[in-house]
Amino acid sequence: MLKKKGTDPGDSEKCVLHLYVAGMTDKSMQAIRNVRLLCEQYLGDAFDLEITDIYKNPALADKKHIVLSPSLIKTFPLPRKTLVGNFADPLKVLSALGID
């Protein structure tokens, strides 16, 4: 069962997440809010979150092979996982990312 993080002194590995959005649309803003809330509630201080607007940097979208947005990519710990959507259900998102 998932627990809220930040209370266990053994939580030393940081989860590295990259959220790619396309402009500051309602859909993008909702995804940003949902991912930030998920990280704060379930990962405590054990995360690094980078948010990139692919409208402002389309070359990066090509380089990272981002074809849908919003896209959330977990790069650490391995394995790498990619999700697309609004990330409204934190438990489903954490499970799909392999974070427990």
Domains in the chain: how many in total?
A: 1
Q: Is residue 3 one of the residues assigned to a domain?
A: no
CATH number at residue 67: 3.40.30.10
Sole residue written with tokens 């500051």: 24
Q: Is residue 9 one of the residues assigned to a domain?
A: no
Q: Is residue 6 one of the residues assigned to a domain?
A: no
Percent above pLDDT 90 for the chain: 76
Name the residue range of residue 79's domain: 15-97
pLDDT tens for 8-29 read: 444 458 999 999 999 999 999 9
Q: Please state, rounded to an integer, the average pLDDT across all residues of the chain.
A: 88
Q: What Rg, from alpha-carbon coordinates, does the chain have?
A: 13
What is the signed CA dihedral for 24, 22, 70, 38, rounded to 10 degrees?
A: -30
Kindly tell me the sign of the dihedral angle through the C-alpha atoms of 62, 29, 85, 1: positive
What's the mean pLDDT in 47-51?
96
**Cβ proximity of 14 and 46 under 8 Å:** yes
